[in-house]
Structure 1
């Protein structure tokens, strides 16, 4: 859309205002660099529309594209694209603070992908362990695992056959509310919104590992 205004806000809105564009940039900032990775983080976005949006971002100087035998294989942010990280963070913090907490059929895969990429690996064990999630009240895959080590954090629906430190039983929306800072683990357990199974030390470690969203500032009140 063209606004035909001198204002740089209008110019930025012309580049970023198309549907999915901001979320594509979010995924690129989080490390996705191929169409399959982007699609996994953006269910509902078709491959063809993703291609159009990436070409628009490339034409605007925000993304570089690489092809192999005519097929788009890699994409990366330019300096101009990476400079949008602060903009995306402000949007995320604003949405977390002022929009209602998530309810309904929250996608557990997207939630765990988001949690996984915010976990600080420096505090994780060297040998991989897993946290087993059993989600209720969802129309989607109900059993998930987070595989954690100091080299990688992976969300998977396949049993990794690793030692399970803690089992978490809840709805996806209950976990989202905790992770976004609208609720606390202690209150959720007291309210029977979440059940944690494991010894006390393991539960404490798991809660510390999971942390909270980058968009939640400690001490900031829930909405």
Structure 2
């Protein structure tokens, strides 16, 4: 941990939460992920050893409590001190959406993008019968293809190597789907520009667009200029 060696509360707080990955771990805990494998899903480029070390550090600082779950499995929950970071983390997301440029291609991970979209789905808007989706990212190397099964009772995500029968076929670039999800462009714009191509019955396509929704930060107004 970097020490600023200042009495200022801002400096002392920064020592705790500005370590690489720490804010993102708090983000995952705020979203209800308690098991280490579930936390890791939102942090695909973080090593298991570093995640364990950061969780220990947060526990030592009193931001996280480690509890014994079913069959002795460890579960991590934010303490009152950790929960008070919620408005700070949320404001970081709003600030980033308002002032920062669109993500670069190197910032886009197909697995994380699909996972992030699916975990934000409002299940109340999903049909009782599974809506299956074949997602093909044309500019990704591997993993390139994903198969989703979306219903009110269950959301399944599978990485596949060959097409599987699906209700809707979604072919796009990573940037196009991320752009729609983050609110930079609309579905209509992306489809008109053929950055996203949708196949299947019209009713199923409409249902998919409605249930996928947008990022929680998509409606944050963009700043015209940073000056």
Please say which of residues 162-171 and 122-131 is displaced more in the overlay.
162-171
1:111 aligns with 2:113: yes
Counterparts of 1:17 and 1:221 in 2: how far apart (Å)?
Answer: 25
Name the count of aligned residue pairs: 219
**Residue in structure 2 matched with residue 171 of structure 1 by the alignment:** 173
Secondary structure in structure 2 of the residue aligned to 1:100:
coil
8 Å contact kept, 2:176–2:196 = yes
**3-state DSSP of counterpart to 1:125:** coil
Tell me the residue number matched to 1:185.
187
Q: Which residue of 2 aligns with 1:39?
A: 40
Taking the aligned partners of 1:79 and 1:153, their CA distance within structure 2 comes to: 31
Superposition deviation, residue 8 in structure 1: 2.7
Deviations 1:194-217 (A, max 9, x none): 101122222221111111101122
Match status 1:214 vs 2:223: no
8 A Cα contact 2:147 2:164, kept in partner: no
Q: How does 1:38-77 map to 2 (within 5 A)?
A: 38-66=39-67, 73-77=74-78
What are the superposed Cα offsets for residues 164-211 of structure 1, whole Å, 9 maximum, x if unpaired?
Answer: 332110011110011001111111111111101122222221111111
Give 5+ residue unaligned stretches, structure 1: none
Runs of 4+ in 1 over 6 A off after TM superposition: none
Question: CA–CA distance in 1 between the matches of 2:164 and 2:128?
Answer: 13
Q: Judging changes above 3 Å, is the alpha-carbon distance between structure 1 residues 162 and 171 closer, same or farther for their aligned structure 2 residues?
A: closer
Deviation at 1:154, TM superposition (A): 3.1
Q: Which ranges in structure 2 are unaligned for 5 or more consecutive residues?
A: none
Other structure's SS at 2:105 match: coil
After TM superposition, the score normalised by the length of structure 1 is 0.88
CA distance in 1 between counterparts of 2:164 and 2:151 reads: 11
Deviations 1:84-114 (A, max 9, x none): 2221111112112221112324211100111
Greater Cα shift, 121-130 or 106-115: 121-130
Query: Secondary structure at the residue paired with 1:164?
Result: coil
The answer to whether the 8 A contact 1:165-1:206 is kept is: no
